Amino acid sequence: MPRKKKSELAESFQNFIPYKPKKGEDYMSEPQKDHFREILQNWKAQLMEEVDRTVSHMKDEAANFPDPADRATQEEEFSLELRARDRERKLIRKIDGTMDLIDNDDYGYCNACGIEIGIKRLEARPTATLCIDCKTLDEIKERQQMG
């Protein structure tokens, strides 16, 4: 089974045409919300396809190898795949939560300070909930707490 590299999967949602706001257009207008809904739906669909590929791969490749080393190798491979799918499952949940924010007109605004996150930042990270300044401060605090 051809496996996607982590960077390919992470960037796969980025196959879209960047949004160009019209002059005088309000932030998070309906066309902008539709733009981000489409990005998120496509990203979720790609993640779901990867889940389906993993399930079929594990069914097809499952074997009871007599050699303990071969069996351990297969178990480790499956373990890594399942860990990756678990991260993607959490990301799918985050995408669903982000789509709820769009539906409730809360999308695109920083959870910490309330200012606009910005279209370009949201296109780079559609599930962002913090503006770049608050995210930077958050990361600095995290580094200080970890030592």
More confidently predicted of 55 and 11: 55
Mean pLDDT along residues 117-123? 96
Give pTM, 2 decimals.
Answer: 0.80
More confidently predicted of 54 and 111: 111
Annotate 6-67 with DSSP letters as a single string.
HHHHHHGGG-SPPP-PPTTPPTT-HHHHHHHHHHHHHHHHHHHHHHHHHHHHHHHH----SS
Q: How many CA atoms lie within 13 A of 126 on its CB side?
A: 32
- pLDDT (tens digit, 9 = 90+) per residue, 18-42? 999 999 999 999 999 999 999 999 9
Given a cut of 90, whether residue 52 has pLDDT beyond it is: no
Given a cut of 90, whether residue 72 has pLDDT beyond it is: no
70: CATH = 1.20.120.910
Given a cut of 60, whether residue 8 has pLDDT beyond it is: no
In a domain, 35, yes or no: yes
- For residues 125 and 36, the answer to whether their CB atoms sit within 8 Å is no
Residue partners of 137: CB distance under 8 A and separation at least 6: none
pLDDT band at 55 (very low <50, low <70, confident <90, very high): confident
In a domain, 8, yes or no: no
Q: How many CA atoms lie within 13 A of 74 on its CB side?
A: 15
Residue 50 and residue 68 share a domain: yes
pLDDT band at 130 (very low <50, low <70, confident <90, very high): very high
- Residue-averaged pLDDT of the chain: 88
Given a cut of 80, whether residue 58 has pLDDT beyond it is: no
Residue 116 and residue 85 share a domain: no
- For residues 88 and 132, the answer to whether their CB atoms sit within 8 Å is no
Q: Report the range of poorest mean pLDDT among 60-64, 84-88, 112-116.
A: 60-64
Domain carrying residue 129: 108-147
Residue 64 and residue 34 share a domain: yes
